[in-house]
Structure 1
Amino acid sequence: MRNHLLTARAAALFASDLPAGSRPSAPVVDAAIAGAVRRCGGTRGCVAHLATTYGDYPEIAASRMRWARGVVEAIYGARDRELVAA
């Protein structure tokens, strides 16, 4: 379940307007993910956005997805570990 949630968050962050390579704070990431989910009509819409935008050129999307996954793992992975430790 945790991996599915991290994957959905990464897809939403990918679909957001945040520039790849940035190091946004947790509140900025939360807002960007929420905005992308609303704008795309859910997490499936975020994945559809990814496929539509980069389907013909997936190599272009790779660096943005690595960035999105790294940011999501750093922010939400840390939160998840804190919850488990508590």
Structure 2
Amino acid sequence: MISTVKDLAAEALFVSHLQPSEYPSRAVLEEAITSMILQYGSDGCAAGVATEFGDHPDVAVRRMRWVQDELAEVVAWRAPVCH
């Protein structure tokens, strides 16, 4: 299930209007992800990703790399501290 949630978050961030050059904060990333999921739903986010990979694969690969890097940081921020 965590993989599914992470995949949905990645698709939502991918279709958002955020750009790597904006260096968005964690709060801005989370807001964008939530907004895209509410606006497009999981199917709409996935369709947007598929369209971009079909139309602009070179750009889409770079964007998805950025998305994955950003999500890795968000997950690291939320990771519980175990003692």
Residue 74 of structure 1 and its aligned partner are, at CA, apart by: 0.8
Q: RMSD value over aligned CA atoms?
A: 1.9
- Runs of at least 5 residues in structure 1 that lack an aligned partner in the other structure: none
Q: Report the count of equivalent residues.
A: 83
Contact conserved, 1:6 with 1:73, CA < 8 A, in 2? no
Which residue of the partner structure matches residue 72 of structure 1? 71
Which residue of the partner structure matches residue 54 of structure 2? 55
Give the TM-score taking structure 1 as reference length. 0.80
Give the TM-score taking structure 2 as reference length. 0.82
Using the alignment, how far apart are the partners of 1:77 and 1:7 within structure 2? 16
Contact conserved, 1:7 with 1:69, CA < 8 A, in 2? no
Using the alignment, how far apart are the partners of 1:20 and 1:45 within structure 2? 22
- Runs of at least 5 residues in structure 2 that lack an aligned partner in the other structure: none
The sequence identity of aligned pairs, in percent, is: 34
Which residue of the partner structure matches residue 6 of structure 1? 6
Runs of 4+, deviation exceeding 3 Å: none
Paired amino acid for 1:73: A
Residue 55 of structure 1 and its aligned partner are, at CA, apart by: 1.1
Residue 53 of structure 1 and its aligned partner are, at CA, apart by: 3.0
Which residue of the partner structure matches residue 25 of structure 1? 25
Residue 37 of structure 1 and its aligned partner are, at CA, apart by: 1.2
